Amino acid sequence: MDLSPSLILTACIGVLIIVYTCINDQVRRRALPGPEGWPIVGNLFAIPRDRPWNTYLAWSQTYGPIVQVKVFGKPIVILNTAKAVSDLFESRSAIYSDRPKSLMVSLLGLEWSMILMGYSPVWRKSRRLVHMHFTEDAISNYEHIQLQNTRKLLSLLAQDPEGFVRHTRFAVGATLLELVYGSSINDPEHPYLKCSEGAAQAAIEASLPGNMTVEFLPFLRYMPSWFPGATFKRKLPQWRANVLALRNNAFEEVKAAWRQERARSSLTTRMLDDISGLSGEEHKEAEGIVRDVSAMIYVAGADTTFSVLQTFFLAMTLHPEIQKKAHEELDQVVGSRRLPGFTDRDYLPYVAAIVKECIRWVTVIPLGVARINSEDDVYEGYHIPKGTILMPNQWAILHDPAVFPEPNVFKPERFLKDGQLDPRTNDLVEAAFGFGRRLCPGKHFGQATLFINIASILHVFDVAPSTNASGEVVYPEIKLTSGLSTYPTDFQCAIRPRTQLAEQLIAS
């Protein structure tokens, strides 16, 4: 065959285009960077069980803002910057709002929990319901419950300051219990509180991706509890019992009382009223959602708020100079003859900045709540296959030195400008509450509860380091728990009324 030069030229250009397209496609769809793993197990042994967010942050300095690890071939992607999280979870929320399916979640019987649920029609209905009752307007209806339980906390702290951890857990749990189910309780050992704490602990330990080997090796669920990787089975029966009790007990009691028209008005009774016009299957489904949403709000709200309040006690113990400034502001705005109220909030910018810094400094849910993408995607040239688990490193975002200079220092001033909350930094702390379509619906209520508790405690108490047997001041070490959420633990502080008037206010 006679090949003309133009034919050869055309063929060469064609081949070049094909080669270019292939190379370009490969470059465009290159795999995400991350630490080298071992055969089969991948990075299993490189992911620390203790506070993995620090390791992920360190890896991001080597591999870039998006880091991939693999465990038994399953990719987990960690997004370490606000930009990456916003680009995916907010701008591409249509494909990044699903949650991973988890064997532990089903072993615990927690599939009903909205926070861990897939992006499904039931989730949408649940979300609409929670949103409706927790808008900025709606939450003003709950202020009396927040105030009453804050006052209970002040009185418990005055009577037994060493028990501050127990009392905070109780007061926050009691606030949510009253709001959701209308139960006003005085017993810190109340079974509803205990099952909520137990269920929260189960979710915290079991639902952080990479934390439980059984997620990657499902046969471990059939092994005896002494078998490596199967020790979770020792705790499983108690965990399951707590989850079941959390879901059903309080709800069934309220429902029975509501049917007999003797229930105290509460979120649950209002939701039951709203669906009472439905019938048959429709009513059954709606009632199930009311039950599950009620339990979810109770448990999600109590544990997170408790954690931030522990951070507050630690920060005040370590920083008397910050506490002094807050005392001065409270004395000036509230005065010594009454306790702070919600109407003082706009006039207490320093206290508001302390609340924000507590939320930032020890980021409660350091690795957010994991997502999976429902479609293949390409981001900044990296291929993210459908079904990849993605975790937003909220700790890294809220400790980014470019945004929060000296990120490990507790400094409320970073949120202030000319003595007022700085609108430029004010909203940055919102990353603690998640992103896009799964953003925390309780963020306004959570921050309001934190404000009233923190303002009230500061108004009447001095929180100081405790002293040892020789009378020397002992500054606590910062020790954090590890799991889906975190908070400072194992520290002591001395909590005393600031003045005699303060003592009277607490007793009043």
Among 37, 198, 210, 441, binds ligand HEM (CB under 6 A): 441
Token pair of 255, please? 């429902």
DSSP 94-120: TTS-B----HHHHHHT-TT-TTT--SS
Q: Which is nearer to ligand HEM, 71 or 484 (CB)?
A: 484
DSSP 201-241: HHHHHH-STTS-GGGT-GGGGGS-TTSTT-THHHHHHHHHH
Shortest Å, Cβ 100 to ligand HEM: 12
432 binds ligand HEM (CB under 6 A): yes
291 binds ligand HEM (CB under 6 A): no
Q: Classify residue 167 as exposed, middle or buried by CB count within 10 Å of its CB (0-12, 13-18, 19+).
A: buried
439 binds ligand HEM (CB under 6 A): yes
What is the three-state SS of 345-402? HHHCHHHHHHHHHHHHHCCCCCCCCCEECCCCEEECCEEECCCCEEEECHHHHHCCCC
What are all long-range contacts of 132-139, with beta carbons under 8 Å and residues at least 24 apart?
A: 133/267, 133/270, 133/271, 134/297, 134/441, 134/442, 134/444, 134/445, 135/444, 136/444, 139/444, 139/445, 139/448
Among 96, 216, 415, 445, binds ligand HEM (CB under 6 A): 445
Instruction: Fill in the amino acid letter for 6.
Output: S
Choose one: 37-45, 195-203, 302-310, 337-345; the region binding ligand HEM (CB under 6 A): 302-310
Shortest Å, Cβ 468 to ligand HEM: 33
Tell me the C-alpha distance between 341 and 148, whole Å. 11
435 binds ligand HEM (CB under 6 A): yes
Q: Which is nearer to ligand HEM, 207 or 242 (CB)?
A: 207
Tell me the C-alpha distance between 273 and 476, whole Å. 50
112 binds ligand HEM (CB under 6 A): no
Choose one: 267-275, 300-308, 375-383, 471-479; the region binding ligand HEM (CB under 6 A): 300-308
Compute how many residues bind ligand HEM; rule: CB under 6 A. Answer: 28
Choose one: 153-161, 205-213, 323-331, 364-372; the region binding ligand HEM (CB under 6 A): 364-372
Shortest Å, Cβ 303 to ligand HEM: 9
110 binds ligand HEM (CB under 6 A): no
366 binds ligand HEM (CB under 6 A): no
Tell me the C-alpha distance between 453 and 151, whole Å. 9
Listed in sequence order, the residues at least 6 apart from 427 whose beta carbon sits closer than 8 Å to its beta carbon are none
134 binds ligand HEM (CB under 6 A): yes
Q: Is there a binding annotation on residue 440?
A: yes
Beta bridge partners of 463: 495
| Residue nearest to ligand HEM as judged by C-beta position | 442
356 binds ligand HEM (CB under 6 A): no
Shortest Å, Cβ 24 to ligand HEM: 34
Q: Which is nearer to ligand HEM, 432 or 506 (CB)?
A: 432
Q: Classify residue 199 as exposed, middle or buried by CB count within 10 Å of its CB (0-12, 13-18, 19+).
A: buried
Residue 61 · residue 84 · CB < 8 Å: no
Among 79, 104, 289, 297, binds ligand HEM (CB under 6 A): 297
Binding residues: 440
Binding residues for heme: 440
Residues in the site for ligand HEM, rule: CB under 6 A? 114-115, 127, 130, 134, 296-297, 300-301, 304-305, 308, 359, 364-365, 368-369, 432-435, 438-442, 445-446
